[in-house]
């Protein structure tokens, strides 16, 4: 296959970027999208040009490191996969492919197609954990959990934090990510002690990072490589308003 790539090149967050066209020649349809970029980078290196910078790690769809906004779709046109799982047979010979980085205020560009997604780490650190006491090891099956609840929590837990939801959202909102992280813990008994504190801390951090807000368009759900459901967002909203409006964190007025 021979393809034309329109790639966003940007030296760093401070300088302005622009699109540069490259030819990708003799590409096997069985290559993954990232392998195709490897081939292009190889030829760029041989020519003495700067290779295209993009994020990747496991290349089997579980680490959440790869990104790329390909022809108007985060992780390319196919559903339920990451860019590393996207094969070149999805495209046709002679096609022009436009590759852009995730675009969001909260995801500043590091270089070319790589963006800094540490905003997600800070949201996670704000409350995405459960407290585990020291002492004897509890029996894993000691707390009964209905299967549907466990399944739903695990579905939310499949979020790999790649940021495709932010990239797909017209408002660059991180609510699908944040709600998945809140829900995976909030549904399970182990997550109950911090449930209402967690949702407030994580939403506060999300706002702090400068993500947009949710318009319920459903674009995030459609583009999520792990097919995280929009119901997570509703569940987060419910917990948040419940925490803010109806629950008492402190029973009495505090003097200090």
Partner 1 sequence: MSEFKQTLNSSLGKKLIMALTGLFLCTFLIVHVGGNLLLFNNDNGFSFNVYANFLTHFPPIEVIAYLLYLSILVHALYGLILTVKNRKARPVRYAVAAKSDASWSSKNMGLLGSVLFLFIVIHMGDFWFRYHNDKTMGFKEYRTDLATGETKVSDYTPANAEFSHSVSTENNVEVVRVKDLHARVAYSFSNIIYVIFYVIAMGAVAFHLLHGFQSAFRTLGWVHRKYTPVVYFIGTWLFAVIIPLLFAAMPVYYYYLSTQGAH
Residues binding partner 1 (CB under 8 A)? 6, 8, 19, 69, 71-73, 77, 98, 100, 103-106, 168, 170-173, 203-204, 206-207, 210-219, 222-223, 230-231, 233-242, 244-245
Question: Toward partner 1, which CB reaches closer, 72 or 138?
Answer: 72
C-alpha 224/C-alpha 219 separation (Å) is 9
Question: Toward partner 1, which CB reaches closer, 45 or 216?
Answer: 216
Phi, psi of 24 (to 5 degrees): -110, 110
Q: How far is the CB of 139 from partner 1 (least distance, A)?
A: 32
Question: Toward partner 1, which CB reaches closer, 15 or 28?
Answer: 15
Other C-beta atoms closer than 10 Å to the C-beta of 189 total: 11
Q: How far is the CB of 118 from partner 1 (least distance, A)?
A: 17
Q: Which residue has the tokens 């295209």?
A: 52
Whole-number Cα distances in Å, 185 to 38, 155, 238: 38, 11, 15
Phi, psi of 109 (to 5 degrees): -75, 130
CA-based nearest residue to 37, from 72, 15, 64, 8: 8
Question: Toward partner 1, which CB reaches closer, 55 or 209?
Answer: 209
Q: How far is the CB of 195 from partner 1 (least distance, A)?
A: 14
Q: How far is the CB of 172 from partner 1 (least distance, A)?
A: 4
């Amino acid at each position: 296959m021979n393809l034309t790539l329109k790639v966003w090149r940007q030296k760093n967050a401070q300088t302005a970027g622009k699109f540069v066209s490259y030819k990708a020649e003799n590409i096997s349809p069985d290559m993954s999208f990232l392998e195709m970029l490897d081939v292009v980078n190889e030829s760029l290196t041989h020519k003495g040009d700067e290779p295209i910078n993009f994020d990747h790690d496991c290349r089997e769809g579980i680490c959440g490191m790869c990104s790329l906004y390909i022809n108007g779709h985060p992780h390319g046109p196919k559903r339920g996969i990451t860019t590393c799982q996207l094969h070149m047979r999805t495209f046709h010979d002679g096609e022009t492919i436009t590759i852009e980085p995730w675009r969001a205020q909260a995801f500043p560009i590091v270089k070319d197609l790589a963006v800094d997604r540490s905003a997600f780490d800070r949201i996670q650190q704000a409350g995405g954990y459960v407290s585990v006491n020291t002492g004897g090891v509890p029996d894993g099956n000691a707390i009964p959990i209905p299967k549907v609840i466990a399944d739903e929590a695990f579905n939310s837990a499949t979020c790999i934090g790649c940021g495709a939801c932010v990239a797909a959202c017209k408002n660059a909102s991180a609510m699908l990510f944040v709600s998945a992280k809140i829900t995976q813990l909030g549904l399970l008994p182990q997550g109950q002690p911090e449930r209402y504190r967690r949702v407030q801390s994580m939403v506060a951090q999300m706002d702090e990072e400068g993500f947009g807000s949710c318009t319920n368009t459903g674009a995030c759900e459609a583009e999520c490589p792990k097919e995280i459901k929009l119901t997570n967002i509703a569940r987060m909203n419910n917990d948040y308003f419940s925490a803010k409006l109806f629950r008492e964190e402190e029973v009495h007025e505090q003097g200090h």
